[in-house]
Amino acid sequence: MREPGYVQVAGEGGSRGRSGRLAGAALVGGLCLAAGVAFAGGVGDGSPARGGIGSVQTLALAAPVEDVVITEARAPGRPLVIIDPGHGGADPGAKGVSGNVRESDITLQLARELRQALAERGRVRVGLTRDGDLTLTLDDRSGIARRLGADLFLSIHADSAANPLARGATVYSLSDVASDPDAARFAAALNGAEGIGTGAGGSAQALLADLAVRDQMDASADFAVRVLNKAAGRVALRPEPHRFAAFRVLRCAEAPAVLFEAGYLSNVEDEAMLLSKEARARIVGALAQAIEVELASRAAARSR
């Protein structure tokens, strides 16, 4: 389900773009465009867009995006979860305390094991934003979710902190207001040069997009709680493990979306835990169950 005002990437929208209105500097609604990407069309111009979509974006997708493979469920018509292994390629992410471990490898390992678990159970369709050591921008990642019409988006990371005793998993959900200064700093660092992805304030388009983003934020918070409920007792959690902030990659996925920090690579025990297949299986089991229950409850709510 998408609200008016949302941006669609080419591939879903294709040639529906009103290229006569092409304006590189246009800001519409939940702006999730890479810097310098041309943008066409917009809501509120009196012409109802086909498919109820208010605007169409033409976006040159990075090469890895073309290679996304969807693992099908046992039955047709099942919802799609996109799993995003954080970092990769030129950006290895955090370094493990042992010096031999890269966050980008841990996130890919977890994502592949989660895909495997979901595929074996066969209840949902699943795809990864990257299935190798690839460099992807945040907008590449969220663009995959948008383009494929993902029903759920899960970005996987592993933390690092100056305090070597800090440990445990954290679940971040999307919010305009951060839960705490640390979460705000973390989101800002992750967003980096791509920025926060907010739209033009005050306009009708921005208002519509705000309403849709509010729904997305509520749904993301629900999913975060579900992840934590499934993780409790199986996965070591940080104190106050549900945090929230304005993550561009979550907002731009245009689906209920959370960012899961599996633990601290800067902590000796957590690093060892993330390198253990058994320990990862507990994490993967919790995530798989949370994803399945979340998607099943959404499907049930829709059919009522």
Residues contributing to the site for Zn ion (CB under 5 A) = 86, 93, 157
Name the minimum Å distance from CB 86 to Zn ion.
Answer: 4
Name the minimum Å distance from CB 26 to Zn ion.
Answer: 31
CB atoms within 10 A of CB 164: 11
Name the minimum Å distance from CB 94 to Zn ion.
Answer: 6
Q: Which is nearer to Zn ion, 30 or 86 (CB)?
A: 86
Q: Which is nearer to Zn ion, 54 or 86 (CB)?
A: 86
Q: Which is nearer to Zn ion, 86 or 88 (CB)?
A: 86
Name the minimum Å distance from CB 241 to Zn ion.
Answer: 16
φ/ψ of residue 103, rounded to 5: -55, -40
Structure tokens at 191: 């967003």
* Strands, sheet with 55-57, edge to edge from the N-terminal-most edge strand: 7-9, 55-57, 39-41
Strands 237-245, 70-71: pairing is unpaired
Structure tokens at 23: 């304006």
**Is 232 in contact with 283 (CB distance < 8 Å)?**
no
Cα dihedral 177, 255, 277, 120 in deg (nearest 10): 160
Q: Which is nearer to Zn ion, 146 or 157 (CB)?
A: 157
Name the minimum Å distance from CB 195 to Zn ion.
Answer: 18
Considering only the C-alpha atoms of the chain, give the largest distance between any 2 of them, rounded to a whole number of Å: 60
Q: Which is nearer to Zn ion, 13 or 93 (CB)?
A: 93
Residue of this chain nearest to Zn ion (CB atom): 157
CB atoms within 10 A of CB 144: 27
